[in-house]
Amino acid sequence: MHLRPPSREHADGYDDEAERCGWLGPAVTFGLAFMHIEPGWSVLDLGIGTGLGSAPFHRAGCRVTGMDISEEMLGACRTKGWAAQLVRHDLAVTPYPFQDASFDCVVSTGVFQFFRDLAPIFREVSRLLRDGGVFAFVTGDRARGKEQTVVVGPGFTGTGLSVTMYCHAIGEVAGWLETSGLRPVDTLEFTAWMDPERSLRFPVRAYLARKERSVRAGPPGVRPEGPPGAPGEREG
Ligand SMILES: C[S@@+](CC[C@H](N)C(=O)[O-])C[C@H]1O[C@@H](n2cnc3c(N)ncnc32)[C@H](O)[C@@H]1O
């Protein structure tokens, strides 16, 4: 199973295993995002692992910074040579070691299923994105009436240990986005297979969201600034 917490061996074999399992997270996430990004953008990949999720953004001309808890996974990513910066940090510990509004885009694939509550992560993403920046990510998907947790047994993790993964309902995700000032733009459900035989299906969903532009308060009667050419800006 490639969607599991890593070990050194796992880091070395991760890309092969992801390919054998048909891991579509990076392709689907980039597919939702690519009409909304520009070459030269700064991209932060949360849980970058070996770099699969942000590799398409790098190919599209973006500058990628990666954050991950695992030195082994960061090491495997480093050997690929294209990440501008790789930082070891736990997503559960806020604040993340980056300045406010320092990224045009935040990406995360195959990571959020390890977290029951995504609210603190989304708040941090909102802090790190500049106004108008985009957030492209994958979560475990919880259909109506389905369980929130999926326990993946030792037979599938390859570590002899069970792993608990979380599924998030679309409404729950929308709520966390909204309270963080992030507006949902697009979403697509797809399947992550837990094994190369593709016998165990884990439902996942990709999302694209945009950080709302903050509205600067002015004196009464003065309208907030819009982009050049915005409706109502021209005279006559
Ligand atoms: C299944 S891999 C996904 C890697 C990559 N994003 C991809 O799509 O192939 C999960 C990654 O999340 C990282 N991770 C898990 N828990 C984390 C945490 N609390 N903080 C930071 N990274 C974490 C793991 O080290 C691993 O690299």
What does each of the 236 residues of the chain score in pLDDT, given as a tens digit?
Answer: 566 555 555 788 999 999 999 999 999 999 999 999 999 999 999 999 999 999 999 999 999 999 999 999 999 999 999 999 999 999 999 999 999 999 999 999 999 999 999 999 999 999 999 999 999 999 999 988 888 898 887 776 666 778 899 999 999 999 999 999 999 999 999 999 989 999 989 999 999 999 988 755 555 544 434 333 333 333 32
Q: Is the CB of 114 under 6 A from ligand 1?
A: yes
The protein residue with its alpha carbon nearest to ligand 1, atom 27, reads 49
Query: Cis before residue 39, ω within 30 degrees of 0?
Result: no
Mutate which of 67, 68, 108, 157 to test ligand 1's pocket (most atoms within 8 Å of Cβ)? 68
Q: Is 70 in the pocket of ligand 1 (CB under 6 A)?
A: yes
Instruction: State the pLDDT at residue 121.
Output: 98
Beta bridge partners of 176: none
| Structural element, H or E, at residue 33 | helix 25-33
pTM of the model: 0.89
> So what's the pLDDT on residue 226?
38
pLDDT at 151: 86
Q: Is 47 left (phi over 0), alpha (psi -120 to 50) or beta?
A: left
User: CB of 83 closer than 6 A to ligand 1?
Assistant: no
Domains, the chain, in order of start with CATH, read 8-211 (3.40.50.150)
CB of 134 closer than 6 A to ligand 1? no
181 lines ligand 1 (CB under 6 A): no
Q: Chain-centre distance of CA 180, in angstroms?
A: 15
